[in-house]
Structure 1
Amino acid sequence: MPAKSSTIVTALTAAALVAVGVLGYQASASAPDTLSQARKGGHQAPEGHPDGHGKKDTKDRAPAPAPVPAASGAGRRIVYSLAAKRVWLVGPKGTAQRTFAVTPSTVSPPRGTYAVGSRSVSVMGSDGVAIEHVVRFAGVSGVTVGFSAAVDGSRPDPGAGKKTGGIRESREDGKAMWDFALHGTKVVVVP
């Protein structure tokens, strides 16, 4: 083989090895945590799966999310449970995309079906706290009821004696609600 073709073959081989190395690195960087733990010698059994020693691996496992209330209708919707103080963002197939705890307002909407009527990126709450990602869906006795997150992360004091309609959520949950709850989105309030 002439020296020039040998040099070309060597260069192509080196380029191929670099490409394989880069692809391998990218694949390992995006691998699920369970794979990277296995590579490091750790072991995490899938949820509910015996770990090979007759025990279930429960370390670092979050509790199962609360199921969507059965009597909350069908289709894409927001479900708000008054008793559970919890919200579910439910996709079109009836599966919860997210669920989270909330702090109820002092004025609660009656159970029933509503729709998102208005939204505000940021305003001053009726309790004097700056709030963001406001999603309004009902009115009760002259009080507007909706979901919001306090910019300072605070939760309202239910014993303050003020009539408020703000159902408070964390800022992270408020952002998820904002992204999900477009104008007209169905809101189902259950006991």
Structure 2
Amino acid sequence: MPVPALRLPSWAWVTGLTVGAVAAVAVLAVQADQGPKPTAVATRPSAQATASPSARPNPAPTAVKVPDGSGTGRRIVYSLGQKRVWLIDASDAPRRTFAVWPGTVSPDPGTYTVSVRRDATTGSDGVPIEHIVYFTAKSGLSIAFSNAVDGASPPAPASGTRTGGIRMGKPDGTALWAFATTGTTVTVVG
């Protein structure tokens, strides 16, 4: 006489397979824990590798001579040829100097005064700017110092576009804003 086959309920099969899978994962985890482990190497990228060439103008050398013929007393000196600005105190000592990005229309060499200051606006290139210090106009354009709100360099203007903004990095724009009160002399040299 044949013996009837013993059938296990489906829940028993599922439970057995689940226990087996958990046991297999536990065994693999123990083996992985005993194997070789990767090690992280801490390296710092060099300043040269992280600096974007358009992130800000060239850094100021510690002693850049104020151009001859730039006047005396408290003033802002802007050199067209050097693309650089100096903030000069009342004793004729330079307080700060920095490189700038000139617009496509430059002021003529001469002496001007800060006429208007504006906290923020949008530049003629569409970039949000702040610390705008106006000192002259040329060919129907206002000429002013400013910095982009995000501190970036200005984009290259489209061919034929005329801009009168003289841009600088954000820390330099903040320093010029604090220095350039209305009536401050601005001397532009070649």
The two structures have a TM-score, normalised by structure 2, of 0.66
CA contact (8 A) 1:138 1:146 kept: yes
- What is the CA–CA distance in structure 1 between the aligned matches of 2:66 and 2:86, rounded to whole Å? 7
CA contact (8 A) 1:105 1:166 kept: yes
Given candidates 157, 160, 167, the residue that maps to 2:158 is: 160
For 1:80-99, what aligned pairs fall within 5 Å after superposition? 80-99=78-97
- CA shift for structure 1 position 178: 0.4
- What is the CA–CA distance in structure 2 between the aligned matches of 1:102 and 1:63, rounded to whole Å? 14
Q: What's the Cα RMSD here? A: 1.3
- What is the CA–CA distance in structure 2 between the aligned matches of 1:135 and 1:112, rounded to whole Å? 17
- CA shift for structure 1 position 169: 0.4
CA contact (8 A) 2:125 2:157 kept: no
For 1:30-109, what aligned pairs fall within 5 Å after superposition? 63-109=61-107
1:184 aligns with 2:186: no
Structure 1 unmatched ranges of 5 or more: 1-61
* Structure 2 equivalent of residue 130 of structure 1: 128
Change (3 A) 1:131 1:159: closer
Number of equivalences: 130
Answer with 1 or 2: which has the greater Rg.
2
CA-to-partner distance for each residue in 1:11-36, whole Å, 9 max, x for gaps?
Answer: xxxxxxxxxxxxxxxxxxxxxxxxxx
* Structure 1 equivalent of residue 147 of structure 2: 149
* Structure 1 equivalent of residue 117 of structure 2: 119
Alignment partner of 2:178: what SS?
A: helix
Q: Which has the higher helix share?
A: 1
| Greater relative contact order (CA < 8 Å, ≥ 6 in sequence) | 2
